[in-house]
Chains A and B, each alone.
Chain A
């Protein structure tokens, strides 16, 4: 692997941990989002980049985690219990669902994974007794009560940061393991991988489950942090698309790239879109289109691409 890039990754993530001591509430908010986006992008990369299955299921996991954890929190459960519950639910759910969905390929898989989020959203919408339905769910946080907003922001930032570190450790370990190798084989040629004895169904299901666990936990943290969730918010299809854009920004298939892509994405989101609320989603669309048409290898390839362009002109 690329040593320098990995060093950048470790540096960037460690540097982020300093945010609570450097900035105020705004920096904390940004830092929390940076960690959350990175968790999403790194997780998506397991199924989308490593195994090559175009999953649009991130929003489903995020919403599932937000609601499973949020409901438990609002009933007075602790944060750790909520995290374990949502992570466990996502893992088990993804394994079960994966055994079915991952038999599909290409568009069919993409559409089916997209549909999962829609169904979950409708369920959250209609199970009013449990989730509050369309009115949303209020989540008072008993454990941290009275600590003040800044202390709470600091707490959730550190929690999200710890989740990112956990995600990175697990994903990098998986990448270097037998499982990671098997997934790369599946991406390159699934039939051949099957032939030489890779248990493709199991491996793909594990990858799908891995891509869900940490996103669901991030959803729980988000729910606790925001204190209020509603179905169109946490099951937003953009949560499925943004991780893909981040991974594309950083260069598909690399964990380092996914982290850097997530940070870059957040930077663009904050500098460009926040100042142009009316055309926010249009600009996101433009970014996607430009990225796919001109920089399919991610922003790290910008030097290479422009050099090629200049030499072609000359």
Chain B
């Protein structure tokens, strides 16, 4: 069945979208900051995977172990050093600040890697999985599974670990959390660091499937936005649901209207949701 194949493609894409959006959603929900650098973090992660494979012979699933702590540290420093200074400022300031930082990062990336497209090519190729009439390349299946695992890990950290509970507490009520002895500034840094680590890891996974280019950062950022709004802000299950919905809608939309309208479709969906259901599919209202 043709539709079944498209549904499968949509699911694979959706899991990756969930992974892209989970960290973004965390930062937006907890810090009330839209991190416009998220897309650039993702592309940086892809470059890391590329360099690790071509330079050191490390497969992407191994590179994840390098990317996660690296991006975590980078995100933590960025939040502590720069973003915490304006955390209470109006939306315009935080948004413009991350835009400025993104311009710098992206420019540095362009200088370092040039605008050429690169592709991480696994040798030997992993082959293709045949499930009846449906064909899926194994590297995609692997990326999908790892994306789900990472997203699940973030969810577990938020549910079970001490720092995770503190992050959720700060999101629910910052003042109450402060009164309970939570160091809010340090929790902000941790939340941002988790967001950055998720972005970096998502980038590593995306490198297994898509070509790498500094110019892709805007598109990834756009996906993260749309997924957050679809699923509901600041919750990991919301990001997963939103990611899957977007992946499937895009796959079927590309078939129905042609792939060139995929962006219009997803942004149209975004505006519809913003207006009629700003809390998302399973989000709660009341977080600006």
Tell whether A206 is near chain B: CB-to-CB under 8 Å: no
User: Complex Cα distance A279/B105, Å?
Assistant: 11
**Cβ contacts B252-288/A at 8 Å (1 or 0 each):** 0000000011011001101100110010000000001
Return the chain B residue nearest A119 by Cβ.
B267
Return the chain B residue nearest A291 by Cβ.
B100
User: Complex Cα distance A44/B102, Å?
Assistant: 22
B100–A285 touching, CB < 8 Å: yes
A288–B103 touching, CB < 8 Å: yes
Which B residues are in CB contact (< 8 Å) with A279? 107, 111
B93–A296 touching, CB < 8 Å: yes
User: Complex Cα distance A292/B83, Å?
Assistant: 11
A115–B288 touching, CB < 8 Å: no
**Cβ contacts B70-95/A at 8 Å (1 or 0 each):** 00000000000010011001111101
**Cβ contacts B190-226/A at 8 Å (1 or 0 each):** 0000000000000000000000000000100010010
Which A residues are in CB contact (< 8 Å) with B101? 285, 289
Tell whether B47 is near chain A: CB-to-CB under 8 Å: no
**Cβ contacts A163-206/B at 8 Å (1 or 0 each):** 00000000000000000000000000000000000000000000
Given contacts A106-B91, A293-B82, contact A282 B96 (CB under 8 A): no
B271–A115 touching, CB < 8 Å: yes
Selected from A110, A123, A281, A282, the residue in CB contact (under 8 A) with B91 is A110
Return the chain B residue nearest A133 by Cβ.
B260
User: Complex Cα distance A3/B221, Å?
Assistant: 44
User: Complex Cα distance A20/B101, Å?
Assistant: 38
Which B residues are in CB contact (< 8 Å) with A122? 260-261, 263-264, 267
Say which one of A152-160, A241-249, A260-268, A303-311 lies at the interface with B: A241-249
**Cβ contacts A264-304/B at 8 Å (1 or 0 each):** 00000000000000111110111111001100100000000
Return the chain B residue nearest A282 by Cβ.
B107
Selected from A119, A126, A289, A292, the residue in CB contact (under 8 A) with B104 is A289
B261–A248 touching, CB < 8 Å: no
Selected from B85, B92, B260, B274, the residue in CB contact (under 8 A) with A111 is B274
User: Complex Cα distance A244/B95, Å?
Assistant: 11
B288–A106 touching, CB < 8 Å: yes
Tell whether A257 is near chain B: CB-to-CB under 8 Å: no
Tell whether A54 is near chain B: CB-to-CB under 8 Å: yes
Which A residues are in CB contact (< 8 Å) with B229? 108, 111
**Cβ contacts A227-248/B at 8 Å (1 or 0 each):** 0000000000100010011001
Most buried by A among B32, B267, B268: B267
Selected from B28, B102, B271, the residue in CB contact (under 8 A) with A285 is B102
Which B residues are in CB contact (< 8 Å) with A248? 96
Which B residues are in CB contact (< 8 Å) with A107? 28, 32, 34, 91, 95, 288
Q: How far is the CB of B283 from chain A (nearest CB, A)?
A: 12
Tell whether B126 is near chain A: CB-to-CB under 8 Å: no
Say which one of A25-33, A97-105, A138-146, A218-226 lies at the interface with B: A97-105
State the main secondary structure of chain B at its contact with A.
helix
A292–B274 touching, CB < 8 Å: no
Q: How far is the CB of A275 from chain B (nearest CB, A)?
A: 15
Return the chain B residue nearest A285 by Cβ.
B103
Tell whether A212 is near chain B: CB-to-CB under 8 Å: no
Selected from B89, B99, B106, B222, the residue in CB contact (under 8 A) with A118 is B222
A241–B96 touching, CB < 8 Å: yes
B288–A245 touching, CB < 8 Å: no
Return the chain B residue nearest A117 by Cβ.
B267
Tell whether B97 is near chain A: CB-to-CB under 8 Å: yes
Tell whether A74 is near chain B: CB-to-CB under 8 Å: no
Residues from 59 to 112 in A contacting B, C-beta threshold 8 Å: 100-101, 103-108, 110-112
Given contacts A126-B260, A292-B93, contact A112 B270 (CB under 8 A): yes
Tell whether A48 is near chain B: CB-to-CB under 8 Å: yes
Selected from B34, B97, B111, the residue in CB contact (under 8 A) with A289 is B97
Tell whether B108 is near chain A: CB-to-CB under 8 Å: yes
26 A/B residue pairs, CB under 8 Å, sorted by A: A54-B90, A54-B91, A56-B95, A104-B275, A106-B288, A107-B32, A107-B91, A107-B288, A108-B274, A110-B92, A111-B34, A111-B229, A115-B225, A118-B222, A122-B261, A123-B264, A241-B99, A244-B96, A248-B96, A280-B107, A285-B105, A287-B100, A289-B101, A293-B85, A293-B97, A296-B93
Query: 7 smallest A-B Cβ distances: which pairs?
Result: A288-B100, A285-B103, A282-B107, A285-B104, A54-B92, A285-B100, A122-B264
- Interface of A toward B, CB cutoff 8 Å: 48, 52, 54, 56, 100-101, 103-108, 110-112, 115-116, 118-119, 122-123, 125-126, 237, 241, 244-245, 248, 278-282, 284-289, 292-293, 296
Given A48-B92, A119-B264, A122-B264, 19 further pairs, Cβ under 8 A: A52-B90, A54-B91, A54-B92, A101-B274, A106-B288, A107-B34, A111-B274, A112-B271, A112-B274, A115-B225, A115-B267, A122-B260, A278-B111, A281-B107, A285-B105, A292-B86, A292-B97, A292-B100, A293-B85
